[in-house]
Chains A and B, each alone.
Chain A
Amino acid sequence: AQRVTQPEKLLSVFKGAPVELKCNYSYSGSPELFWYVQYSRQRLQLLLRHISRESIKGFTADLNKGETSFHLKKPFAQEEDSAMYYCALNSGYSTLTFGKGTMLLVSP
């Protein structure tokens, strides 16, 4: 069965500090992984997908098949990064399996 694990419910950092939100997955096929973000009072939206290998809002994520991980990183956190972050895996025919989410709080 497909599973996405986000071990941290809450990650609290100071502005300017590096951020790493962890995501591990289990999937028997070739994974298609995403990071979605939900800012306060806004709808869930795509932040990154692994196939595009892009940097959005300073965030990057690298797929490590050996460690079955897709951690989200940003070198210098900003207050506007405070949000709920979900790692998600495409589990076949475009159905997404989500992790339980990590709340990122960036303090001034």
Chain B
Amino acid sequence: NAGVTQTPKFQVLKTGQSMTLQCAQDMNHNSMYWYRQDPGMGLRLIYYSASEGTTDKGEVPNGYNVSRLNKREFSLRLESAAPSQTSVYFCATDEGQGGVTEAFFGQGTRLTVV
């Protein structure tokens, strides 16, 4: 049982390049999230999808787009990468629907923009 799987694990981009971070879950959860983790800043929510077919902005959405492809998959796209987007990105899922449930995290994607 893989849980939450993110690809890739590491990536180096040049400024201006684009890329898509992939996240897939096999937990049959409704809600999926993208966070970025920066030293001294904790985890900040970029975008989330409360259910299949919906997406909403989080705290720091600028420079990102997302797609909830189906119930299992939630991708994060950087259209034109900037050095400020150097970070560790985490995908997370939970049962959603307004309940108090445990969030499960992927192993993270370490992105460096040079």
Contact = CB atoms under 8 A, between A and B. Distances in A.
Interface string B25-50: 00000010101000011111100101
A17 B42 CA distance: 26
A98 B48 CA distance: 15
Interface stretch (B11-19, B68-76, B91-99): B91-99
B45 A96 contact: yes
B100 A32 contact: yes
A98 B100 contact: no
A97 B35 CA distance: 10
B106 A43 contact: yes
Nearest to A9: B40
Contacts, number: 57
Contacts of B108: 43
A11 interface: no
A37 to B, nearest CB: 11
Contacts of B42: 6, 86, 98-101
Interface string B56-97: 001000000000000000000000000000000010101111
Given A43-B107, A86-B43, A100-B42, A94 B102 contact: no
Interface residues of B, number: 30
Interface residues of A, number: 22
Given A93-B98, A94-B96, A100-B40, A45 B45 contact: no
B114 interface: no
Contact of B103 (A46, A51, A99): A46
A93 B99 CA distance: 7
Given A9-B40, A86-B42, A100-B41, A94 B106 contact: no
Residue of A43, A86, A99, A100 ringed by the most chain B CB atoms within 10 A: A43
A100 B59 CA distance: 14
8 contacts: A32-B100, A45-B105, A86-B42, A93-B98, A94-B50, A94-B100, A98-B42, A99-B42
Interface of B: 4, 31, 33, 35, 40-45, 48, 50, 58, 90, 92, 94-108
